[in-house]
Chain A
Amino acid sequence: MYKEICQKYAPNKDNLIQILHEIQDTHPQHYISPEAVDAVAEYLKVPANHIYGVLTFYTMYSTSPRGKNIIRLCESPPCYIKGSDNILRKLKSALGVGVGETTKDGQFTLELCACLGVCGNAPVMMINEDVYGDLTEEKVDEILAKIRGTK
C-alpha cells in the first residue's frame, strides 16, 4: 500500500514531504510507521535516517499512532491573549487526556500548534481538515459531541 502511494510521485527526493503527507493522511491512525519509512526510503533511494530527520522536524507529522480525529489547538500569541489556555484546559478535561495523548476509545488526539492563520476568529483549533473559531468552553462541548455523534 505504501508502495502504491509512492508510485504516484516521481522517485525524486523533493517529493518526500508530499509522499509523507499522503501516507499519513490515508493511514487510519494518522501516522507514519517504521514500515512506511522503509518503503519510502527504498523508493526514493534516500537513507531512512534522512526520512526520520524530516519527519521529526515538521510538526504536522507523527511517528506514533494517533486517534481518528486530530485536534490541533493554536497557542500562538493572538489566540493566547484570547484565552486559548482556557480552551486547552477545557479540552483536557473533556477528553481526559494531556497534550500529545489519545483518548482510550481512539477517537481524539490532542495537540498544540502554531498560528493557523485564522486569527480573526481567535481562539482557533483545527480538527482534521476543519477549522473551528471563536471558541468558548461551551462551544468545545458542542463540537466534540457533534463529532462523537457522527463517528
Chain B
Amino acid sequence: MKYYRSHVLVSINETSVAAGVQAFVSALRNELAKSNLSEEINVLETGPLGFFGRGICLTVYPENINYEAVKAEDIPELVAEHFLKGRPVKRLMLDTAGKFSPKFNYENRIVLRNSGIIDPESIDDYIGAGGYEGLEKALTQMQPAEIIAEVKKSGLRGRGGAGFPAGVKWSFTAPLTAPQKYVVVNADEGEPGTFKDRLIMEGDPHQLIEGIMICARAVGASKGYIYIRGEYKLCIARLEKAIQQAREYGILGKNIFESGFDFDIEIKIGAGAYVCGEETALIESLEGNRGNPRWKPPFPGVQGLWKAPTVVNNVETLANVPFIIAKGADEYLKHGTPECTGTKVYTILGDVAHPGLCEIDMGTTLRTIINEYAGGMKKGFKFKAALVGGAAGVILPDRLLDVKMDFSSLNQYAAVLGSGAILVMNEHQSIVDMLWSILRFFRHESCGKCAPCRNGSQQLYKLITKIKKGEGTMEDVELMQTIAETMQQTSFCALGQSPIMAIRSAIENFRDEFIAITKK
C-alpha cells in the first residue's frame, strides 16, 4: 500500500457531474503532476461527502478542509497554495458563516460511515474498510434463524416510510418452503424531497449488496432484484460495477465462501411512477406490468414476485444490516431510542444555511437537526414550517420543533417520519401554496386503480386550486379534509391514504392562513 501526505476526496455525484467534475479531476491530476506532487497527494473520486456545497466539492485530509463550488480555473491556485505551501484557499472554503457551522458527525454514522471516505467503485476499498465481514459471519458462523434473531434484537425498522420491523418481516418468509424465494430492494425513491437512497447507493454500493445477501441467507432466497428508478443513472452504473466486482471475487455466485449458498443480483430499472414505491406495485412493475398495487393479503412475504415468497426492503434498511451482523445488535442498540433504534439518514432542504444530508440517531429533535446539522436558517430567514416525510408527510409548525424524530414520537402528533425528507419553509412562503403543490403531485401520481384515490385526488386538486385563487370558502377547506379522510379509509394502497396527513396538518396548524385567503 502506498502512503500519501494528503488525500483529496472529490465528490462524484449527479450535481458535480453536471458541473463537469470529470474534466476537473483530470485537470487537477495534471496540475499536481506538473508540480511533482503526484506521489504525495492522492486524488480520490468518491461519493457524497456529507455536506452539500454547490457544484464541485472537495474534502482535503488530514486537514479536513471542505471546498465548494471549485472551478477548473481555481486549480493552479489550489495546488500552489494549499497542496504545495499548505495554506488553504479561504475564498473557496465551505461557507460556515451564520450562527452555527454544520456538524459533520462522522463518528456516529452507520449507513454512511464509508461514504465520502472510500472509493465507491472499488471493492478492495470496501473490504479494506471492513466490508463483507458481516456476510462472511452470516454465511460461516450463523444459522439463518440466528441472523433473523439478531436483526429482530437490533430493533431495525423499515426505512422506506412505514417503519415495520425488518426482522419480523423476514420471519414471515423464512419458514416457508418454496422452490424459489426473492429479495427485492426498493430503490424506486420518488418521495419528493428524498434522495437518501441515491446517496447511500452512490457512496457505498457494496454495502447494499452485502445487506441484500445477508437478508437472502436469512430467508433462504437465491435471487435478488434491485428495482431502481430510471433517473438514477450514476447509481445504476455504480451498482452494476459493484455487482460485477462481487462476481469476480466470488462473493456473488455459487457456493459462496464454501457455505453452499448460491446467490445473484439483477438490476431492474423503473420508468417513472411514484406508486411503484408501494411494494406490491413494485412487484407488478418487476413482472413487466403497469404498476397497480395488489390486494393484501397475501403479503409479498408469502406471495410476491411470480407468486414466490418475496422480501421487499428499502435501500436504507438493508444498508443497516451489514453493521448489525458484523458488530452485533448490542452495538447497534447504542444508537437511537428504545422503540426506534439506530440512525436515520435525513435530507434537509429549503431555507436552511446548509441544505444536505445527515445521518443521526433516531429520536433527535427537529430543532437540533435544523440548527446543528443544517447550520440553522439561511441568513435573513425565519422558520415557519417544515414538511417532514415528503408529499406523504406532514407540515409541522415551530411549536412542534422539539418533537423527537422517530416513528413512535411522531405518531403522537399524527405525523410520520416517512422517508426522512425535511423541507424547511420560511415565513414568507404560503402554506396554501405548498399544499397546492402537494395535491397537484398526488393528482398526477394516483395510479387510477381505485375510485377513492382516482377521483379524490382530482377533487382535492380542484378545491385547493379554487382556494389558492381566493375563490374558496372555509366550507371548501372542510370538504377537502372530509374527502381526504374518506380516501384514507377507503383507498386501496398507501398513496390514496396519504394526502390526509398534509391536509390535516396544514389546516390544524395554519388555520389562520386558510381563513385569510377564503371568502367570508
Contact = CB atoms under 8 A, between A and B. Distances in A.
Q: Do A and B bind each other?
A: yes
Interface of A: 12-18, 20-21, 44, 46, 50, 53-54, 57-61, 75-78, 80-82, 113-122, 126, 129-134
A81 B423 contact: yes
A115 B288 contact: no
B189 interface: yes
Q: Which 3 A-B pairs have the closest CB atoms?
A: A58-B271, A16-B288, A76-B192
B15 A122 contact: no
13 contacts: A14-B288, A18-B268, A54-B289, A58-B273, A77-B387, A81-B433, A115-B191, A117-B232, A119-B421, A120-B357, A121-B15, A122-B349, A133-B18
Contacts of B52: 120
A58 B188 CA distance: 13
Nearest to A14: B288
Interface stretch (B211-219, B437-445, B452-460, B481-489): B437-445
Which secondary structure dominates chain A's binding surface? mixed
Given A58-B273, A117-B194, 16 more contacts: A13-B288, A17-B268, A54-B289, A58-B270, A58-B291, A59-B272, A76-B437, A77-B437, A81-B423, A114-B192, A114-B272, A119-B192, A119-B195, A119-B423, A120-B355, A131-B15
Residue of A46, A53, A81 with highest tally of chain B CB at under 10 A? A81
Contacts of B285: 17
Contact of B54 (A13, A75, A117, A134): A134
Band of interface residues on B: 35 or more
A76 B391 contact: yes
Nearest to A112: B444
A77 B192 contact: yes
Interface of B: 14-15, 17-18, 52, 54, 189-195, 198, 229-233, 268-274, 285-291, 347, 349-350, 355-357, 387, 390-391, 421, 423, 425, 429, 433-434, 437-438, 440-441, 444-445, 447
Nearest to B447: A57
Contacts of A134: 54
Contacts of A119: 192-195, 347, 349, 421, 423
B290 A53 contact: yes
Given A77-B192, A77-B437, A120-B356, A114 B269 contact: no
Nearest to A115: B192
A21 B271 contact: yes
A21 B269 CA distance: 9
B437 A129 contact: no
Given A58-B271, A81-B423, A130-B18, A118 B440 contact: no
B18 A115 contact: no
Contacts of A17: 268-271, 285, 288
Nearest to B448: A57
B520 to A, nearest CB: 28
**Most A Cβ at <10 Å: residue of B52, B192, B229:** B192
